[in-house]
Structure 1
Amino acid sequence: MPNATRPTLTASDVDALSQPFTLRDGIVIKNRLAKGALSESLARRDHTPGTRIKNLYRRWADNGLGLVITGNVMVDRRAIGEPGNVVVEDDRAFDDLVEWAQIINSGGATAWAQINHPGRQAPRTLTPQPVAPSAVALTGTAGMFAEPRELTHDEIEDIIRRFATTAGVLVRAGFDGVQIHGAHGYLVSQFLSPLANHRTDAWGGTPEKRRRFVIEIVRAIRAEIGPDAALAIKLNSADFQRGGFSEDESLEVVRALAAEGIDLLEISGGTYSSAAMLGVDPSLKESTRRREAYFLDYAERVRAELPDLPLMLTGGFRSVESMNDAIASGAVDLVGLGRPLAVEPDVPGQLLDGTITRSTVTPKRSGIKVIDNLTELTAYTVQMWRMADGREPAPRRHPAINVVQYLVRNGIDSVRVGRRGL
């Protein structure tokens, strides 16, 4: 069980966010603000990281963040989740990975890489025949995704090995740790969900068997990276779909992961079909939006049952008051920021030094779900592309310009909600 250093704080501590945090492995995160994963779509055509993605992280390097988690790094080039994904299967781009990690570390931030496999959530233009726990297609996606093929036992074992290999390469390149993406309906999340996993063999049929995939990934990665690098996971509190992955089952998964010695749990929620993580889903209560921390109730449940497990909460935080309260109350240890960093790249340092008291970024809602999803998806990605090209964000651009620019570059099949962070 992780034994993290958690200083005693009270709600009156205005500098709770400035306190360092030490993980079980001895890694010290300099403060409590973390960059949540944002899928950058900036890799070269061969899926190796290049100049543009390094430029983006160089822009964030001195902005005061304590922890920086990269966007999706895929473990298999045959399974691409979105245009521009970085893929790490071996050492072929090792020097680029070294430089990427060094850029993140240069401002004092801890560097983690998020590793992922999309499973069935891969557009048919990129992955004509996706794989999944079961041959269950995504619904409500207008044919953007092909019906997946069910994975064989040997293929599942191969994917587990790929997660470990990717993690090993990244840690050897200088990343301080890795985060498994187990949320938002990607492959790990698919195995956990009774809606996506209809198997009756060793990999499904009961909650224990559905979580075997992620447990085996954790074990394989730990064996590969050793005890000194950090191993974290991003997990849904729930899928917010009837009959799907529930909070109660999620808590059982967290208990099992804690027993395996994970270093940190990042809590999120939702899938592409129910995008609670973006704050645009109509099922999200207005009182929850006002509180900012979308999944705080679940975080408090985890804390009550597993008080020594380090927790990061991402989703909705905008004001320093809410961030401080979440940390000072002891509910969580790190606050994750996503979309604000794409529009206001200097916001962490400004919050910490008192220059500002809140981010001005809010979900863009018209009341029409398709439009809301499209503008949320494109607005922040295009801002990251601007920084990758050496320009500053342009948050006041008309949303239509962002949509057109995104579609020209990535194509209409790439328009899907849910993958750009919070």
Structure 2
Amino acid sequence: MPAPSGQALADAGRSVAGSLPLRTMTGLVGSAASSCDVIQRTEQRMSRMVGYTRAACATFVIIPLFGWARLRHPWIAVLIVAAAAVEASWFTWRVWRRPGRLSPRLVLADVAFCVALMLVGSRAAQPDERNKIMTELVPFSLVAPAGIGFGLGLTLLAVGAVAVLMAAWSLAVLPDVSLKLGSDLLGFALWYVVAMLIARELRALCAATAAAQDEAAAAGRLAIEQEKEAESLRQREITHREIHDYLLPVVDHVAAGGVPSPALVREARRGAQRARRIIMDPRGMDPRALAVDGTASPDSTQNGLEEMMSAVVDALADEGLALVPFVSIKGEPPAEVREALVAATREALRNVVRHSASTDEVHLFVEGDADSVLVVVRDRGVGFDPGSVRAGGGMTGSYSALRRYGGETLVTAWPGDGTKVTFRWPAAEPTGAGAPGTGR
């Protein structure tokens, strides 16, 4: 399989960056929030869960009022209802406004209130009915160990606070001690342990979300850098192609003392027009925005591979190359692949003009579709020894550009018997044959 291009890596990076943190459990959308925001908002939501529970369980304190006639001090029950309502409202308001983790001071204040609630509230009932009538205080008080689990975690202070709550409830029901006291005390311990474990799981999930978000942000930055690098490489390739394919042939011909033929004048005019576009507007370096004569063409971006190859054949024919072309394209490969194939083919044909010494029998074979393309340039000139030739402009520029898009180049030459250049996209799977450029 061909290696992915820089553009493909950039697209993949942008896809990852856009899909990972679309909506996390914290309610944050996209990658706009940092990992610190994710952690802070998660802690805030855990605190609010405790606040919601505190507000809901405050309603249980009203139930003892329904046994008004059996109470020893009904006014104490009324006082407890009012105090519980005020404390639950205050507690919920504080956790709703405060960002981040549940405050240890708020947790300890809630524990202190629950201790007072149990010790004072139980005095409203008859001594022998305290464990029965005042059981409704337990749900309200059980929220305190849940807050300890969320806010303090597994610490000596947290264990001590839970122990104080259990001791206060034991004192509150005296002398009405029964088997039910054991289940109440077990409830205090279990609410603390379960809340602590839930908080631990939520924080672990939050940390994983934050880490994924950081990785997505890093992938996005990497994708941008890769995209910039790929675009810079593309611009260098286009600049090299323009100079090597359009300007150097004219300069070399003049430097060698050649007579300016009409074809050379047309080539010089095209090269000058293209050079001006490059200087005036860097976007003009994109070959898809240039017509065959070097001027802008609104329809040139729609040119297919067959039209582009025909333009190359016509340009080389003006230079005296007797070319026998066969072009059959049944589907269009990607635009960048078309550009690379056309540039490499033009370079191979120009090499025939420069080095072959025989331009009378040159064959061009182009066949392909949207998934694969094969181009062969064959001449019967003087040939050369591939091992004795140093790679030059075409070998390091136009030919190598095709490899960056997943294609391959094979140059086969024989001294005295011509040269064969093959371009294939995508590259063929390795078969264990000889290295490119060797063998007949």
Scaled to the shorter chain, the TM-score interval is under 0.3
Q: Which fold has the larger relative contact order, with Cα–Cα distance below 8 Å and residues 6 or more apart in sequence?
A: 1
Look at both structures and tell me which one has the larger radius of gyration over its CA atoms: 2
TM-score normalised by structure 2 residue count: 0.19
Question: In proportion to residue count, which structure has more strand?
Answer: 1
Structure that is richer in helix per residue: 2
Q: TM-score, normalised by structure 1?
A: 0.19
